[in-house]
Amino acid sequence: MINDLLNKIENMNNLVELHLHLDGALSVDNCRKLAELQNINIPSDDNELLSIISVSKNCHDLNEFLTKFEFPLSLLQTTESIKLSIKNLQEELIKQGLIYAEIRFSPQLHTKKGLTQEEVVQAAIEGLNLSKLKCNLILCCMRGKNNNKENIDTIKLASKYINRGVCAVDLAGAEGLYSTSEYENLFKLANELNVPFTIHAGEADGANSVYDAIRFGAKRIGHGVRSSEDSKVLDLIKEKEVTLEICPTSNICTSVYEKISDMPIKMFLDNHIKITINTDDPIICNTNLKEELKKIAVVFNLNYDNIINFQLNAVNASFASKKLKEELIDLLKN
């Protein structure tokens, strides 16, 4: 029975992903193309290169996880590299059975060689147009010190390019060190400019972080698993019809949970909370969307209807246009 379900998942070609970081999704092949483009020397051995960009099999440490972003970001500091990386990622997603994805990145992290945030965004949009896969971009603001101006610039850029390749903004970074409540001004601006947003919350920090994100107006929460710690927050999620972007393997790698069976996925389903399943950082976590779906199907004894519902939730919660959502739902039903 379970083998039949796993085979069905493996053969799916109508998948949707909402939580996917560009700098956590550079495959070995993509890295080689970017390095060649920029005359950057990288290891010739694939396994050695993989060890630089992926966590070890026994990673349960946030520090190891975070160091893995340094190398891919070093390859993403020119307009051509950003454009090519987006295009290559989309081609890889097509092969993995995706029909739609929202790719997120922080423009301010790609300015180390002199690019402006706007040049970064323009290059990414050009990359989108080089592939047939339907995708949108989410621009991430970053938690941290002394970058309020950069975050405000990101929000304004999202407003400028909304519905032109950009679909939303996000807040990423060290949630445990920089509370979600500190960023109310950013999302007040996003609301004023009619820019939709999701917020990383309820991962390194508790349910209070999710509460603040919803209070700001977020209709989606990146991760959000620790909302399970507060019944009032769970009630608020249902009341506001918020969707959680669950990333199972990532939450193990960053030590939110020791094992997938510890995650509150079944509790969310039993309480009719809308969830989607995502990879977060597929190359860093050594995974892909089908593998994530298979893992939770086995651990939580799910059926094919559950898997399809995750895809429907993703379409409905996406920041895609109404017309595109209708097209995606038709593909899911066929």
Amino acid 92 reads E
The verdict on whether 203 is a catalytic residue reads: yes
For residue 62, name the pLDDT band (cuts at 50, 70, 90).
low
| pTM for the structure as a whole | 0.96
Please, are residues 176 and 164 in contact by the beta-carbon 8 Å criterion? no
Domains delineated in the chain = 18-333 (3.20.20.140)
- Would the pLDDT of 268 be above 80? yes
Residue 295 tokens, joined? 């893992």
Q: Which residues are within 8 A (CB) of 172 and not within 5 positions of it... i.e. 6 or more apart?
A: 21, 104, 106, 140, 141, 142, 143, 200, 222
Give me the DSSP letters along 77-93: -SHHHHHHHHHHHHHHH
Please, are residues 116 and 156 in contact by the beta-carbon 8 Å criterion? no
Residue 307 tokens, joined? 């898997």
Q: What is the pLDDT of residues 299-327, one digit of tens each?
A: 999 999 999 999 999 999 999 999 999 99
Cα separation of 209 and 215, whole Å? 10
Q: Is 237 helix (H, G, I), strand (E, B) or coil?
A: helix
Residue 33 tokens, joined? 């193309």
Q: What is the pLDDT of residues 155-203, one digit of tens each?
A: 999 999 999 999 999 999 988 889 999 999 999 999 999 999 999 999 9
Q: Is 27 helix (H, G, I), strand (E, B) or coil?
A: coil
- Comparing CA positions, the residue from 116, 34, 109, 17 lying closest to residue 66 is 109
Per the DSSP assignment, residues forming a β-bridge with 146 are none
For residue 60, name the pLDDT band (cuts at 50, 70, 90).
low
Q: 203, 229, 241, 245: which one is catalytic?
A: 203
Cα separation of 278 and 290, whole Å? 9
- Comparing CA positions, the residue from 288, 271, 267, 270 lying closest to residue 279 is 288
